[in-house]
Structure 1
Amino acid sequence: MTQVAEEIDYEALPDNASLSASLLAGAFAGIAEHAIMYPVDSIKTRMQILNPTPQAVYSGVINAVSKISTTEGARTLWRGVNSVILGAGPAHALYFGSYEYAKHAFGGNESGHHPIAAAAAGACATIASDALMNPFDVIKQRMQVHGSIYKNVMECASKVYRAEGMRAFYISYPTTLTMTIPFQSIQFATYEYLRKVLNPSGDYDPVTHITAGGIAGAVAAAVTTPLDVAKTLLQTRGEVTDVRIRNCNGLVDAFKLIYQRQGITGFAKGLQPRVLSHMPSTAICWGVYEYGKWILSRGNANQQPINMP
């Protein structure tokens, strides 16, 4: 009798692996994705503010980095990162766990290309994860705006809740879903397609995962930027004195206000830093996630030998 470890397809994780494998890999991927590119995300938020103060008007990413570092200190670019770290771990664990389950249920793990299954699985995953992440994202953006008065995450959450109630943490949730469902659907469908084109064998290949992830993130970010501008307006409305902005209520109202104030070009605000942040962050996210699945699958295979004659 010879003991031989069962060969496992890491892409779907082994059948006898617990859901915790996907959750753990997803948590590490989410924290890495958001934390590493956080300064660029801070710049994106500031560039999307509808009526910025004169001190917070930037001509581009390089100008923003220079101006913020000179006048406010480089640490300002990291303000609010703790909110992302607190929320990204559990939110992305739920995100990737839901994605793996839904992709399998929709037939996305079968041989061949299945963009619809991948897109549908991505949509299911984002509905679940955004419900958990939305309050953390609101806190993050409140702390990113120029002149933020909040010293830490708990102070921000407490003051926002007392002043605006629980609604402030979820007023952007419908808009977030309107943005993230197409974002994730485009991202997952693009990623799965490119992954299979660049690596038909399906073996673990970090270059493939990073390349496919980066391209998928850039495409999805560019397409959904107008929705992200509206989301930023809704999530930061409590930090401005403009009555019209403070009373903005929902996606349609936000779109109308953006168009009235800045025309069609207003919907492209923050496009450059959004793409610049999502391209590497998505590449990092998929690279870390696929590596985590590969490591967890190898460990599971080594621990689960089967008897062969």
Structure 2
Amino acid sequence: MLAGAVAGIMEHCLMFPVDCVKTRMQSLQPEPAARYRNVMDALRRIIATEGVWRPMRGLNATAIGAGPAHALYFASYEKLKRTLSDVIHPGANSHLANGAAGCVATLLHDAIMNPAEVVKQRMQMYNSPYRGVLDCVGAVWQKEGAAAFYRSYTTQLTMNVPFQAFHFMTYEYLQELLNPHRQYNPSSHMLSGALAGAIAAAVTTPLDVCKTLLNTQESLALSSVSPGQGQGAHRQISGLAHAFRTVYRLGGLKGFFKGVQARVIYQMPSTAISWSVYEFFKYGLTKHQHNKRKTQAIWMHRI
């Protein structure tokens, strides 16, 4: 859990500016997202027009959520992977067990991380009206209720369950090829994590676009839901099917792949950092525990 918490916080903090760009590029608003040519161009424009610290808005919300979310994520994955492997394929690695363990780990991770994602993405949007994390939490709670923090939860799971199942199976498969003895090997952990994350990210981009829309409730999308209603009307985009229809109506098939470049560029180093940091701390902690037990055994033998 400690190794997972450190890995999650480092992963999200180091890659946060790219995550901000991904959110902006997935926006359905025609301006300024339409002017972004690529990830670096978007990052330059955000810094030039909104300030050097603008890409970091919402980082504290993400860091608060990432610690406990990734602690449960990795701990439950490790435990379930071993338990299910012993049942399905005793004494050997089971890809089915890896995928199933990844699915359960995702349920726990997203239950904690989803509210943080809502706050983070609302603060990342262009012309975000919120002064800070607490202001955003208070405004969302007051105007939309507690359910707003979990409006995209089913979409998040619909995206993340196949994403993480494929991600874990790919990572474990690549580890079998690159690191068959399962020793601590930083290069194999980074390469396996990067490739697994990139492939899974590209495949699930349409669902990520819908999740962003559900989290941010963009004004352009809201005005298209029921045009002609007054300003006081309660218009909300709710549910995956509703989000899919809205994205298609406003952006066509291309709309589902908004920000795919940024998503892949974000996920490759993100998963590489996550796995390498996690494996490093797991190696250090387990080695320390092993040495401690070994020392205790030597002293007991002498006594």
TM-score in terms of structure 1 length = 0.88
Partners of 1:113 and 1:193 within 8 A in 2: no
Partners of 1:199 and 1:208 within 8 A in 2: yes
Cα distance between partner residues in 1 of 2:178 and 2:92: 13
Q: Which residue of 1 aligns with 2:75?
A: 97
Cα distance between partner residues in 2 of 1:110 and 1:35: 38
Partners of 1:214 and 1:280 within 8 A in 2: yes
Q: Which residue of 2 aligns with 1:66?
A: 44
Candidates 270, 273, 295, aligned match of 2:284: 295
Partners of 1:142 and 1:239 within 8 A in 2: no
Cα displacement string for residues 176-196 of structure 1 (whole angstroms, at most 9, x for unaligned residues): 000000111011000011011
Structure 1, unaligned runs of 5 or more? 1-22
Q: Which residue of 1 aligns with 2:251?
A: 262
Partners of 1:131 and 1:173 within 8 A in 2: yes
Q: Which has the higher helix share?
A: 2
Shift of 1:247: 2.4
Cα distance between partner residues in 1 of 2:196 and 2:107: 19
CA-based RMSD of the aligned residues comes to 1.8
Cα distance between partner residues in 2 of 1:238 and 1:169: 15
* Matched letter for residue 162 of structure 2: P
Q: Which residue of 1 aligns with 2:167?
A: 187
Cα displacement string for residues 121-173 of structure 1 (whole angstroms, at most 9, x for unaligned residues): 00000001101110000000000000112121111101111111111100100
Cα displacement string for residues 182-222 of structure 1 (whole angstroms, at most 9, x for unaligned residues): 11101100001101110112111011101100111101111
Q: Which residue of 2 aligns with 1:77?
A: 55
Cα distance between partner residues in 2 of 1:117 and 1:192: 11
Q: Which residue of 1 aligns with 2:195?
A: 215
Percent same amino acid at aligned positions? 49
Shift of 1:112: 4.1
Q: Does 1:29 align with 2:7?
A: yes
Q: Which residue of 1 aligns with 2:23?
A: 45
Cα distance between partner residues in 2 of 1:275 and 1:82: 23
How many residues of Structure 1 are paired with residues of Structure 2 in the alignment?
287
Cα distance between partner residues in 2 of 1:297 and 1:164: 46
Cα distance between partner residues in 2 of 1:255 and 1:57: 24
Q: Which residue of 2 aligns with 1:227?
A: 207
Q: Which moved more, 1:176-185 or 1:147-156?
A: 147-156
Shift of 1:243: 2.6
Cα distance between partner residues in 2 of 1:260 and 1:120: 35
More relative contact order, 1 or 2 (CA 8 Å, 6+ apart): 1
TM-score in terms of structure 2 length = 0.90
